[in-house]
């Protein structure tokens, strides 16, 4: 009898401790936990992770104000993986096994996603990617009965399709050049660039490369200039692209220049300076002046967090969370397999970037394609849509990929 009372008391203490822990964290046992695992401090892409978290948090705020999901409140469980694959794997294990999250939003870095994709796939936990762009992220488990990895971001090949469509129309002498960095990101970009330009019946007039820590690209730019390149696609990280613009100024060589969506980060603008930053046209899923919902989100982020950077990532973080909530409501469940199946059947979900009409299917886990993307520029310290006669002339047939 005494032993039974001790066991019962111990169980009571454990339960009380658990409830106290939940209460102290502001989390009820009935709440639906959603993990967020992304770089927010460790690499040059951390700003995109922070922006995605802002969108994630504001979406949860809106969902809960509207009554939550299935009568329950959503709670974000935030983890910073510092851009390090081992830390990102540890975070995923913690979120799935200890926190028992219903789904995960993240990561920032493609390498981190590729390091842990097997974990949510094995545990049947849906993952919605708001930033990382490597093509293989959503394709690795495409042949499985259920692929648990979905994305609302700008896959590399899709970005290149838009840049190339513009470059082909912008060049006056059909001499398009590529300048890429030596990272895996840049080298994959070079491969895609060469393949996509071939779809237009052209080949690069010159291809040059630099190391990510280089600060003087005048030698490479001189070779591109001497090859007659009048339109240049730069596929590199933000700091290297900014240094390239500074090197252009040194030799007074300013071809039409295009870059990837990472140039929406403030490190690019800070290194290049306002005047040079405005000389680059780059890709984005949206800009804060794209539509009223985007403008509203930008205003809210500035009011709540004090500043706004990498707005596309914030919008994507918001939209993935709204899509996840819609799937939970449609499936009337937080069970991973049911939510994953429902993601492939949701329709008419209003986001910041667009209203999502059947964004996913069993074979397609990319909610955004090149037809959704914009070309943008820095103007007056903000990223805004770039509109000119070339943009207006681009048709679906020009977006070869």
Detail the DSSP E strand segments found in 132-278: 149-151, 176-181, 206-210, 231-235, 256-259
Q: E strand or H helix at 221, and its extent?
A: helix 218-226
Whether the CA torsion 367, 371, 374, 375 is positive or negative: it is positive
- Please report the domains of the chain, with CATH numbers, ordered by start residue: 31-154+291-368 (3.40.50.2300), 157-284+374-398 (3.40.50.2300)
Q: Specify whether the CB–CB gap between 382 and 171 falls below 8 A.
A: no
Whether the CA torsion 191, 194, 197, 201 is positive or negative: it is negative
- Give the pLDDT score at 198: 98
Please give the chain's pLDDT, 401 residues, in tens: 434 443 344 444 444 444 444 444 566 679 999 999 999 998 878 999 999 999 999 999 999 999 999 999 999 999 999 999 999 999 999 999 999 999 999 999 988 999 999 999 999 999 999 999 888 899 999 999 999 999 999 988 999 999 999 999 999 999 999 999 998 788 889 999 999 999 999 999 999 999 988 999 999 999 999 999 999 999 998 899 999 999 999 999 999 999 999 899 888 999 999 999 999 999 999 988 889 999 999 999 999 999 888 999 999 999 999 999 999 999 999 999 999 999 999 999 999 999 999 999 999 999 999 989 999 999 988 889 999 999 999 999 999 99
Helix (H, G, I), strand (E, B) or coil at 179: strand
Pick the closest to residue 68 from 328, 319, 293 (CA basis). Answer: 328
Pick the closest to residue 178 from 232, 219, 218 (CA basis). Answer: 232
d(CA 345, CA 231) in angstroms, rounded, equals: 42
Written as six digits, the tokens of 390 are 């070339």
How many Å separate Cα 30 from the centre of its chain? 30
- Give the pLDDT score at 193: 97
Whether the CA torsion 117, 354, 277, 198 is positive or negative: it is positive
pTM: 0.84
Q: Specify whether the CB–CB gap between 365 and 147 falls below 8 A.
A: yes
d(CA 16, CA 133) in angstroms, rounded, equals: 44
Q: What's the pLDDT tens digit per position in 94-127? A: 999 999 999 999 999 988 999 999 999 999 999 9
- Give the pLDDT score at 26: 60
Angle at 170 between CA 161 and CA 286, to 5 degrees: 50
Instruction: Specify the residue for token string 């100024």.
Output: 249
d(CA 371, CA 366) in angstroms, rounded, equals: 12
Written as six digits, the tokens of 139 are 């394709």
Is 385 exposed, middle or buried (CB count within 10 Å of its CB: 0-12, 13-18, 19+)? middle
Mean pLDDT, the chain, whole residue set = 92
Q: What's the pLDDT tens digit per position in 266-323? A: 889 999 999 999 999 999 999 888 899 999 999 999 999 998 889 999 999 999 999 9
d(CA 39, CA 349) in angstroms, rounded, equals: 27
């Amino acid at each position: 009898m005494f032993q039974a009372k001790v066991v019962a008391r111990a169980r009571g203490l454990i339960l009380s401790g658990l409830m106290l822990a939940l209460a102290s964290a502001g989390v009820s046992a009935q709440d639906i936990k959603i993990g967020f695992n992304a770089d927010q401090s460790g690499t040059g892409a951390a700003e995109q992770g922070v922006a995605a978290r802002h969108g994630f948090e504001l979406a949860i705020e809106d969902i809960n104000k509207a009554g939550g999901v299935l009568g329950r409140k959503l709670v974000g469980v935030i983890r910073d993986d510092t851009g390090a694959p081992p830390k990102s794997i540890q975070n995923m294990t913690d979120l799935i096994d200890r926190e028992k999250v219903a789904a995960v939003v993240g990561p920032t870095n493609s390498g981190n996603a590729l390091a842990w994709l097997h974990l949510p796939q094995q545990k049947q936990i849906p993952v919605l990617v708001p930033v990382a762009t490597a093509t293989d992220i959503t394709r690795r488990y495409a042949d499985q009965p259920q692929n648990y990895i979905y994305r609302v971001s700008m896959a590399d090949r899709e970005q290149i399709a838009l840049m190339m469509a513009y470059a082909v129309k912008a060049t006056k002498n059909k001499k398009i050049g590529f300048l890429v960095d030596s990272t895996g990101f840049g080298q994959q970009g070079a491969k895609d660039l060469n393949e996509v330009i071939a779809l237009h019946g052209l080949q690069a007039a010159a291809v040059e490369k630099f190391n990510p820590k280089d600060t003087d690209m005048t030698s490479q730019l001189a070779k591109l200039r001497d090859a007659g390149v009048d339109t240049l696609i730069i596929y590199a990280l933000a700091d290297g692209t900014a240094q390239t613009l500074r090197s252009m100024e040194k030799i007074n060589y300013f071809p039409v220049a295009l870059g990837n969506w990472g140039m929406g980060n403030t490190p690019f603008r800070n290194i290049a300076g306002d005047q040079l930053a405005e000389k680059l046209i780059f890709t984005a899923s949206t800009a804060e002046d794209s539509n009223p919902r985007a403008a509203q989100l930008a205003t809210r982020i500035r009011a709540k967090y004090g500043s706004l950077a990498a707005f596309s990532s914030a919008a994507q973080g918001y939209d993935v969370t709204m899509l996840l909530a819609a799937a939970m409501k449609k499936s009337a469940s937080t069970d991973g397999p049911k939510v994953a199946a429902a993601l492939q059947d949701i329709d008419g979900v209003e986001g910041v970037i667009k209203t999502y009409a059947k964004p996913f299917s069993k074979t397609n886990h990319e909610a955004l394609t090149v037809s959704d993307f914009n070309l943008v520029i820095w103007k007056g310290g903000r990223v805004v849509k770039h509109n000119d006669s070339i943009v207006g002339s681009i048709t679906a047939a020009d977006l070869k990929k």
